[in-house]
Amino acid sequence: MPPKSAPSDILRIATAQLNPVVGDVAGNLAKAREARADAARHGADLVLFTELFIAGYPPEDLVLKPAFVEACETAVQALADDTKDGGPGVIIGVPLKRKSGLHNAIMVLDGGKVIAERYKLDLPNYGEFDEKRVFQPGPDMPGPVNFRGIRIGIPICEDIWGELDVCETLAESGAEILLVPNGSPYYRGKVEVRHQVVIRQVIESGLPILYANQLGGQDELVFDGASFAIQADKSLAFQMSQFEEAVSVSAWKREGEGWRCDDGPMSRIPEKEEADYRACMLGLRDYVNKNGFRNVVLGLSGGIDSAICAALAVDALGEERVRCIMMPYRYTSKDSLKDAEDCARALGCRYDIVPISEPVEGFSNALGQLFEGTAEGVTEENLQSRTRGTILMAVSNKFGSMVVTTGNKSEMSVGYATLYGDMNGGFNPIKDVYKMQVYALSSWRNTTVPPGALGPSGEVIPQNIIDKAPSAELRPDQTDQDSLPPYPVLDDILECLVEGEMSVDAIVARGHERETVHRVEHLLYIAEYKRRQAAPGVKITKKNFGRDRRYPITNRFRDRS
């Protein structure tokens, strides 16, 4: 059947904001087919999928495997064959091997065949992106694609972020509207950044732009969706939801020489605490589910970090898939015992108590001869943490549960964590969340149940956990502030050093003591070896540890200006 002819002055575009799985070519193809069928039921002429949808994004070195790239193209050819039914055409992202190299590409499908290919020109190579490692840029500036008599420009993600004037060139070569498939990961405030990028390109090109963004967690990255379009007059044409899968149809009409969207969704974009929480929740859910874990286990200490991780786990997976274990020792306070139990009861998840006195004393006795004549200190404290880590890993091995690790970004920055102890685990939902942000998220969650959460309403993190001074409880009357600056001070210095890459002088000018800044900088650098061995975790800030910030472990530089 020939493709249905769209009226020359009307184009109904379905934006497929979906959650592909990297490497699941068959599953992603099934998702694409389902979305196309849904779009057809709503009268769409064209379905726009996101960047490298059929492969999942980012595929990293997986695209260096020829069999994988071949499987991706074969799947898209099968989807092209589907379009002979006369239904919607398709724009879909796919890795393609051609004479000019391996490309991050899109294929345009209609009437039972591939009617066009376009290759990404501007390959990002910063922050979390390293596409120049695996892809070749398109050999030429991409021209518009003639889709049922309408000239559509299809720049791919970085093509509108960079400085190559791809959008302006498409306009000059006759494009009437720009449709952009993206794989743009979340960080705080990213939606506004995307809007500004698109508005700049609208001004440069004079054309309306539809920005389709991927959804879902992929290792440390969370893709938040929030697809949208900007009219040629720079106004917001439509806004899709954030952190939710959707296939939304927008109606575009030709007005004179241009196009205007006069019908599309207008969803609310969450404020920062809600957005951060939902990003952590989605990242944890997808990491657990996409990697095939049945359930999770975590140590619930009565502190705020483990409490919010428990809440995130229940919200992401449901109470029946979360197991919390309190592992008290002689320094564990009665408040902590009560707070941990109250938290688990409020969340409705399984709660067990496993005292660690016997194994800790067993280690101490075994090491007694080796340690004879030395004073007790951090080594003995860390035996407690490492005993807890061993117990959690034993439960993981026995029952197939993934261990959720619970260290926040402030602790990870300065090494306030024990290797092979509280750092044990498969995934950390708050790895990129500073301590003061943990408090803010906890207070927010006690008043709000986010959309899509499976946990209960009401106070799920006892107020006493939020109010009390944080402590590792590894020695009598210990608090974090015994060895660290107050968290508001520490977090500000860390944000300056990590996100801002600011000099010591500049940080001191903000009102911090120079000696404190020097000390925090030193702790940040010497903890790099620990961070290299840490579990992956959700990226929330503009610069997380790992993908965004790759500092050497062996490093003698210190800013002493």
How far apart CA 235 and CA 246 sit, in angstroms, is: 22
Strand 89-98 relative to strand 101-110: parallel, antiparallel, unpaired? antiparallel
Q: Which H or E run includes 218?
A: strand 215-218
302 is in an annotated binding site: yes
Establish whether 113 is a catalytic residue: no
- Sheet of strand 150-153, all strands in order from the earlier edge strand to the far edge: 145-147, 150-153, 177-182, 209-213, 228-230, 236-239
Contact indicator for 15, 48 with CB cutoff of 8 Å: yes
Q: What share of the chain is helix, strand, coil (3-state, %, to 5)?
A: 40, 20, 40
468 is in an annotated binding site: no
Torsion of CA 75, 80, 85, 91, to 10 degrees: 110
530 is in an annotated binding site: yes
The SS3 assignment for 469 reads coil
How far apart CA 265 and CA 286 sit, in angstroms, is: 26
Using alpha carbons, select from 277, 547, 287 the residue that is nearest to residue 430: 277
Contact indicator for 207, 178 with CB cutoff of 8 Å: yes
511 is in an annotated binding site: no
97 is in an annotated binding site: no
How far apart CA 185 and CA 163 sit, in angstroms, is: 20
184 is in an annotated binding site: yes
479 is in an annotated binding site: no
Per the structure block, which two tokens stand in for 358?
């016997």
Q: Find the catalytic residue in 31, 72, 117, 120.
A: 120
Per the structure block, which two tokens stand in for 211?
């920005």
447 is in an annotated binding site: no
Q: Which H or E run includes 252?
A: strand 246-255
Q: Find the catalytic residue in 157, 261, 309, 324.
A: 157
382 is in an annotated binding site: yes
126 is in an annotated binding site: yes
Contact indicator for 265, 239 with CB cutoff of 8 Å: yes
Establish whether 51 is a catalytic residue: yes
291 is in an annotated binding site: no
Contacts of 106 (CB under 8 A, 6+ apart): 91, 92, 93, 94, 117, 118, 154, 156, 181
Q: If you compute the radius of gyration of the chain from its CA atoms, what whole number of angstroms results?
A: 26
335 is in an annotated binding site: no
Using alpha carbons, select from 68, 67, 113, 70 the residue that is nearest to residue 90: 113
304 is in an annotated binding site: yes
DSSP-derived secondary structure for 148-205 = TTEEEE---THHHHSSS-HHHHHHHTT-SEEEEEE--B--TTHHHHHHHHHHHHHHHH
333 is in an annotated binding site: no
Contacts of 76 (CB under 8 A, 6+ apart): 54, 92, 94, 107, 109, 114
406 is in an annotated binding site: yes
- Residue ranges for the known binding site for ATP are 299-306, 406
**Binding-site annotation, residues:** 126, 184, 190, 299-306, 382, 406, 411, 530
Which residues contribute to the annotated binding site for deamido-NAD(+)?
382, 411, 530
Q: Which residues are annotated as a binding site for L-glutamine?
A: 126, 184, 190
Active site members = 51, 120, 157
